[in-house]
Structure 1
Amino acid sequence: MNYIRFKAMTDNFIPTESLAQFYKRTGQDIPLGLESGKAHFNVRETLTTTRKTPFNRRDYFKICLSQTPAKGSGILQYNDQEIPINQCCIIFNNPAVPTSIEVNIPFNRFYCLFNTPFIEGSIPADIQYACPLFNPSLMPVIPITKEDRQRLSTYFTQMQTLQDSDYPFKWDMIRHLLQLVIHEGIRLQKNQEIPATVVRDRLVNDFLALLNQQFPVDSPESPLKLLTPAHFASQLHVHVNHLNSVVKKHTHKTTRDIIHERVIIEAKTLLRNTNWNISEIAYALGFEYPSHFNKYFKQFTSRTPLEFRMGRKTTA
């Protein structure tokens, strides 16, 4: 692929906002050490004013607790979905999914943001699979009651108090409180497809972690390589039948279904938010021929990639 063609493609790709860019965009001082890859965490209580944030991916995690929104307060654009913000809720922003929020009526909220080094090793893969912060197939907005809001507000307030303190082990305490917030989000999910039992199998956790490491897709020059249960089994050094059996037992889904769900989510993201042509998207997702991708996409969505793209453009 020549440089000019590659640059044109990357120029049309969904931008990824860094932590430094977030602080600059919101008029805040950029904390020291952000560019060095060190662990970073921040929590604040703010008044969200009428505005629309940029539509992009992020290289950080973010959880928002909207405390006093009324009907029509705002709309969350989450990939190809428009989700109204009509009541108190907690919002889990998955970094791999492009999002934007348009606020129509100002409302109070807490938010915390953090990078991968801050939580590395502290959130098991099974918990990640059950939480929209890490699993993009789950609904990111979870409505909450007044009692839920009060309890969650306490966690955020405690994190803020610890952050401003000089207690030497404050970050460990904050990680524990952050895990409480994540668990509350999982528990409060209503009518969503989450595992009936918490996954406690190391092989399944390793499979889910290996799957998630492939996303987001940054370039057709670095296509997906692990696309079948056999590919994952080889990397995990187990027989594919054993992997399939264990995954099915703990997630109630087949290994192949979980892979398909994640690939389709990424395909929709690329179709909706980039100007890559269908062939380029097909190659980026690991398909040898665009015709195979067309057949695959239609099998799971009842539309061809082009029909999906044109439909989204006309309804946007």
Structure 2
Amino acid sequence: MADKLIPIESLVQFYKRTGQDIPPDLVHESGRAHFNVREAVTATRKTPFNRRDYFKICLSGITGEGSGMLLYNDQEIPLGQSCLIFSNPTVATSIEITVPFNRFYCLFNTPFIEGLIPPDIQYACPLFNPSLMPVIPVTREERERIIMLFQQMQELQASDYPFKWDMIRNILQLLIHEGIRLQQSRLAPASVVRDRLVNDFFALLNQQFPVDSPETPLKLLTPARFADLLHVHVNHLNSVVKKHTNKTTRDIIHERVIVEAKTLLRNTNWNIAEIAYALGFEYPSHFNKYFKQFTTQTPVEFRTGRKPVIV
């Protein structure tokens, strides 16, 4: 019950709280992909303890100075040197700054990265997996390399290059991978080895995609089916996946199927029935209900860009 009392800060509320102009895309069209990158000086203050409806990656102490404390759920994590901070929307956080520091940060919402980061990469990154440590200290050399990534995104954002958002997404992926690599380099070798069962589950899941034809529909759609092929009990598979990803096996499967459904609706001329069969649904009506359950839109509404009717 207490969790429900923790507020969720929207992107609009973030810009208001930080005294910035609200970007036009957020004012005129909710649910649109949004990205922003900035260099800023953090004043001595404490941010509200809340969850957020956006992702954020911050490089603090870009001049090597500054200190503070990150409150991450019930953890207090010192911020005493240059570090990468990954903010997961599902985790309530607050930062208390005691000595101001320069920083780079980028923030973005789910539509901006939808379908971009494979499930196994999400599993390895604190940006998506809240069970991982969200703060990664960096050396001077590492800091300079990461600063270059932020600067490249900043230059692209300010440019007129027509494909700048695609380039920014590519650099953002590099930044995410850099965080994973640095975090794993600081762990003991035994800790870096991810659970083999989880790896095997993701391998089986990923090998089904992309869907090439309605004639070769998805076969693995339930945790029990994956468990059979992995020769484990489904309860054991569910327990291990939940422990290492903070998500249920079923949720991960659903997320991947929905991403593929959106890809097919956007990028193919297949009709709804063909997409439904390709994704393993026996009847298009079942697919329509499934898609609306997870997106609040029907497949036709999503494909045509129509807003769902609220009654």
1:162 pairs with 2:156: yes
Q: What is the CA–CA distance in structure 2 between the aligned matches of 1:161 and 1:235, rounded to whole Å?
A: 44
Q: Does the 8 Å CA contact 1:63/1:113 hold for their aligned counterparts?
A: yes
1:240 pairs with 2:235: no
Q: Structure 1 residues 9-18 or 51-60, which shifts more?
A: 9-18
* One-letter amino acid of the counterpart of residue 68, structure 1: T
Q: Does the 8 Å CA contact 1:75/1:85 hold for their aligned counterparts?
A: yes
Q: What is the CA–CA distance in structure 1 between the aligned matches of 2:137 and 2:30, rounded to whole Å?
A: 37
1:26 pairs with 2:18: yes
Change (3 A) 1:162 1:101: same
* One-letter amino acid of the counterpart of residue 180, structure 1: L
Which residue number corresponds to residue 68 of structure 1?
63
| Displacement of 1:176 | 0.5
* One-letter amino acid of the counterpart of residue 125, structure 1: P
Change (3 A) 1:108 1:153: same
Aligned ranges 1:78-157 → 2 under 5 Å: 78-157=72-151
Residues paired across the two proteins, number: 224
* One-letter amino acid of the counterpart of residue 22, structure 1: F
Q: What is the CA–CA distance in structure 2 between the aligned matches of 1:103 and 1:69, rounded to whole Å?
A: 15
Q: What is the CA–CA distance in structure 1 between the aligned matches of 2:76 and 2:83, rounded to whole Å?
A: 15
| Displacement of 1:202 | 4.6
Which residue number corresponds to residue 56 of structure 1?
50
Change (3 A) 1:76 1:239: closer
| Displacement of 1:142 | 0.2
Listed one character per residue, the Cα deviations across residues 51-107 of structure 1 (whole Å, up to 9, x for unaligned) are 000000100000000113547x10000001000001111000111000000000010
**3-state secondary structure, aligned to 1:113:** strand
Q: What is the CA–CA distance in structure 2 between the aligned matches of 1:154 and 1:170, rounded to whole Å?
A: 16
Listed one character per residue, the Cα deviations across residues 11-68 of structure 1 (whole Å, up to 9, x for unaligned) are 9521110000000100111112325211000000000110000000100000000113
| Displacement of 1:256 | 1.0
State TM-score, norm by structure 1: 0.64
1:258 pairs with 2:258: no
**3-state secondary structure, aligned to 1:51:** coil
Q: Does the 8 Å CA contact 1:18/1:60 hold for their aligned counterparts?
A: yes
Q: Does the 8 Å CA contact 2:82/2:137 hold for their aligned counterparts?
A: yes
| Displacement of 1:241 | 3.2
Which residue number corresponds to residue 186 of structure 1?
180
* One-letter amino acid of the counterpart of residue 222, structure 2: Q
Identity of aligned residues (%): 64
Q: What is the CA–CA distance in structure 1 between the aligned matches of 2:25 and 2:233, rounded to whole Å?
A: 42
1:77 pairs with 2:74: no
Aligned ranges 1:151-300 → 2 under 5 Å: 151-189=145-183, 190-191=186-187, 193-196=191-194, 199=199, 201-204=202-205, 235-236=222-223, 238=225, 240-243=227-230, 254-260=237-243, 262=246
Which residue number corresponds to residue 309 of structure 2?
none
* One-letter amino acid of the counterpart of residue 133, structure 2: M
**3-state secondary structure, aligned to 1:83:** strand
Unaligned runs of 5+ in 1: 1-8, 207-232, 248-252, 264-316
Change (3 A) 1:205 1:20: farther
Q: What is the CA–CA distance in structure 1 between the aligned matches of 2:98 and 2:16, rounded to whole Å?
A: 23
CA-based RMSD of the aligned residues comes to 2.9
Higher RCO, Cα 8 Å, sep 6+: 1
* One-letter amino acid of the counterpart of residue 76, structure 1: L
Q: What is the CA–CA distance in structure 2 between the aligned matches of 1:82 and 1:47, rounded to whole Å?
A: 22
Q: Does the 8 Å CA contact 1:131/1:138 hold for their aligned counterparts?
A: yes
**3-state secondary structure, aligned to 1:110:** strand
